Structure 1
Amino acid sequence: MAATPRGISKSLLPSAKTRAAIAKRMAEVSGAMTTAAVAEMEHRHAWFSELDAKHRSWITLVAQAGIDGFVHWFADPEPSRPSTADVFGSAPRELAKKISLYQTVELVRTTIEVAEKQIDELMPRADRPVLQAAMMQYSREVAFTAAEIYARAAELRGAWDARLEALVADAVIRGETDETVLSRASALGWRSSADVVVVVGAEPEDEPTVAIESIRHECAKAGIDMLGAVQGDRLLVVLGGGDIADPEFASRTVERFAGIFGPGPIVIGPPVDHLADATRSTRAALSGYRAAAGWPDAPRPVRADELLPERALSGDGHARRALARLIYTPLADAGSGLLETLVVFLDNGASVEATARALFVHANTVRYRLKRIQEVSGYSPTDPRDAYVLRLAVTLGRLLPADGRPGT
């Protein structure tokens, strides 16, 4: 005995011969059903009328294929699960890019509602109950097929976007950013025209694609553009827009998704003016990532500029020059005994009284100069970490060659 289609009561299921006869009568009015369905689409959905003639004709083909597919399925002597591949196969893949899944569901719903109404108006009374039950089953399968098509399209699009994003991120990180790369970044949703930082951390333990999408979600909530790629055992994230140039804002933003990175340090490179300049931020972030082991108690995330001493000791010439340029030179130029006071203060175990005796000045004078040192350099000699930075900056500054540039 033939299997009963799900959704149709056995008591309502006629013989194969009767179904064939009913299907033949319905085939005679299928054209009218399609015309009525398209007319209802235009009346009910404003966006349908805004489509060009080509896309409307494709949708008409889908509607016609759906109704014809139902007729053939219903007339099958061996009823089974409906096969609706031919319904959407009549339209090109481009149609899935033109209308959304929600709109597709709306069109399917409209077509089914019109078909059910047309069955009541055009088909004999005896045919209606079984046709209505069969239509309910068939429409469900059509809806599932539509969802599957869009899911596959989204999966393919996501895979392509991931590959494209990896290529763009790699070009940005390597400093090979031309107009083509910028155009591709724009296609991926990059909108920022200024202020970019690069973040480096360990490869995520989760699937990289999932991890990058999770970071993207957090960045979207913060109003920040984002590109990401896994390179070897590291995850590099490019951030742009908003107040990302503000160190505090950048740190708070990265904290939102810090848990997505693998264990270990997360280093934020210095801000640069444009995506095309991101390689400078990348260089500093990578240098900080390699040197972060020298400061086990560093915050997570940590800014690359906070790791200048470790970077300098690990062989980063840019960090050595930065320490000398940003700390030693300003203190030397400020005069008023600031540099001498700093050296004596550090040499005397950070003792104000011992420094005052060594310099033959009052202790309050030492305290004033220490305050000025912090104002000029941004580092406090009384803080152990800052004192370490200042000591290394002084040493590197003293190694400046005659041309005024620190040695490499």
Structure 2
Amino acid sequence: MTSASEPPAWLADGVAALLAGPAGGDGAGRALGARAADAGLPLPELVERVLRASADHWRAGAGPDGEAAAALLDTTRALLAGVLDGYTGQNRAELRRYDHDRTAFVNDLLTGRADPGALAERAGRYGIRLSATHVVLIARAPGLTPQVVHRVDAALAARFGEGNTLTTPRGGDLVCISAGGLRGIAAELAHLLLGELGADGWQIAVGRAHPGLPGLARSLEEARGALDHAARLGFTTAVLHAADLLVFPVLLRDRDAITDLVDTVLGPLVSARGGARPYLDTLTVLFDNQGNYTATARQLHLSVRAVTYRLDRIQALTGYHPGEPTQRFTLHAAVLGARLLGWPA
């Protein structure tokens, strides 16, 4: 193996040729830097080797006079600038290719449209076994740039190990595929987003763990559905678990039935003075506060007496009262259905 003190022959020869020619080498320095990037030379080592090759060239006959030394130094500066430009440009191009390939792989993985055999071969590059159990997490935030996703991906890989997580942008969201049973992944992702984006404006949804290739698509849909339902219901919890929100797909599975429930139970509120909205808001806040009148009044900026009055009016108009155990579930289901449907608008 070539040591750091002995530049490889192609680098030493390239530097010598460029130093002997015009300053900058007409782009040859960039080509040399790109080759160094492809060879995997770390940047500090590349700089050290260019300078050492320049010193060797000097010893070989550049001469001791000051004019020759200044000329060599100028040429070396131009050469080094070109080499570094080529090196960083090649790394950027490689990163873009890697990002494109990985994004295409994740899209094929989650849609299931690619040939399973070819997909399994590509999955091996990322440490994913298609027969294993995986969980899909989606983070949604307006400030999710590719740079943020790169940093989050690197941090998750460092925390949980290469091959246990795969993070990429998809449709404006951050999508993370994690090995099933990986503990703490949602909390770590939340911690990273907090550091990158601050405390507000982002939300994470976690699908359930499912095995095999179809399980990935299913976990993705569960996570996406959790985010969509949270947006419609006004849930602001930072981390949502699809397993905790299974009632909402059930409610929406029979849209006619939930529409009939909402119209039957809450429909009479439309005729109230001021419309249904104040009463619907009161019920929503009441259920969010587990039936606590004081907390509901505080959140609505009302007195407890005003909250009680509204609930009594709801009972008078609809026949349902949240204080009645046999009616509470029906009323709550109707309120959730109304929020999902955007009722009464």
Structure-2 residue corresponding to 1:200: 138
Q: 1:158 to 1:316 in 2, by over 3 A?
A: farther
Percent identity, please: 15
In the TM superposition, 1:348-363 aligns within 5 A as: none
- The amino acid of 1:152's aligned partner reads G
Structure-2 residue corresponding to 1:96: 37
- Deviation string, structure 1 residues 302-342 (Cα, Å, up to 9, x no partner): 1111111122223389xxxxxxxxxxxxxxxxxxxxxxxxx
Q: Does 1:160 align with 2:160?
A: no
Cα distance between partner residues in 2 of 1:202 and 1:278: 18
Check the 8 A contact 1:62/1:90 in 2, yes or no: no
| TM score, norm. by length of structure 2 | 0.61
Structure-2 residue corresponding to 1:83: 24
Which of 204, 221, 225 is 1:283 aligned to? 221
Q: Does 1:254 align with 2:189?
A: yes
In the TM superposition, 1:248-397 aligns within 5 A as: 249-259=184-194, 263=201, 265-274=203-212, 277-293=215-231, 295-297=233-235, 299-315=237-253
Structure-1 residue corresponding to 2:59: 117
Cα distance between partner residues in 2 of 1:236 and 1:43: 41
Structure-2 residue corresponding to 1:145: 82
Cα distance between partner residues in 2 of 1:226 and 1:105: 33
Computing the radius of gyration over CA atoms, which structure comes out larger, 1 or 2? 1
Q: Does 1:65 align with 2:17?
A: yes
Q: 1:263 to 1:314 in 2, by over 3 A?
A: farther
Secondary structure at the aligned position of 2:24 is classed as: coil
With a CA cutoff of 8 Å and minimum separation of 6, indicate the structure with the bigger relative contact order.
Answer: 2
Q: CA deviation at 1:92?
A: 9.8
Check the 8 A contact 1:270/1:304 in 2, yes or no: yes
Check the 8 A contact 1:169/1:238 in 2, yes or no: no
Secondary structure at the aligned position of 1:257 is classed as: helix
- The amino acid of 1:64's aligned partner reads A
Q: 1:245 to 1:296 in 2, by over 3 A?
A: farther
Q: CA deviation at 1:236?
A: 4.2
Check the 8 A contact 2:227/2:240 in 1, yes or no: no
Unmatched runs of 5 consecutive residues or more in structure 1: 1-40, 49-55, 74-81, 318-348, 351-383, 393-408
- The amino acid of 2:49's aligned partner reads L
- The amino acid of 1:97's aligned partner reads D
Cα distance between partner residues in 2 of 1:276 and 1:180: 16
**RMSD across aligned positions (CA):** 3.7
Q: CA deviation at 1:297?
A: 4.1
Cα distance between partner residues in 2 of 1:96 and 1:133: 29
Structure-2 residue corresponding to 1:395: none
Cα distance between partner residues in 1 of 2:74 and 2:128: 49
Cα distance between partner residues in 1 of 2:30 and 2:193: 45
Cα distance between partner residues in 1 of 2:167 and 2:94: 16
Cα distance between partner residues in 2 of 1:295 and 1:185: 37
Which of 24, 49, 58 is 1:107 aligned to? 49
Secondary structure at the aligned position of 2:246 is classed as: helix
- Deviation string, structure 1 residues 231-268 (Cα, Å, up to 9, x no partner): 1xx41413224xx525x623213212344578354211
Secondary structure at the aligned position of 2:167 is classed as: strand
Cα distance between partner residues in 2 of 1:255 and 1:316: 34
Cα distance between partner residues in 1 of 2:7 and 2:127: 27
Q: How many residues align?
A: 253
Q: CA deviation at 1:198?
A: 1.2
Check the 8 A contact 1:165/1:229 in 2, yes or no: no
- The amino acid of 1:165's aligned partner reads R
Q: CA deviation at 1:91?
A: 5.5
Cα distance between partner residues in 1 of 2:49 and 2:120: 38
Q: 1:200 to 1:240 in 2, by over 3 A?
A: closer
Secondary structure at the aligned position of 1:254 is classed as: helix
- The amino acid of 1:252's aligned partner reads A
Q: 1:87 to 1:286 in 2, by over 3 A?
A: closer
Secondary structure at the aligned position of 2:65 is classed as: helix
Secondary structure at the aligned position of 1:256 is classed as: helix
- Deviation string, structure 1 residues 95-120 (Cα, Å, up to 9, x no partner): 5311423443232121112123334x
| TM score, norm. by length of structure 1 | 0.53
- Deviation string, structure 1 residues 73-132 (Cα, Å, up to 9, x no partner): 4xxxxxxxx32335436769555311423443232121112123334xx74xxx522222
Check the 8 A contact 2:223/2:242 in 1, yes or no: yes
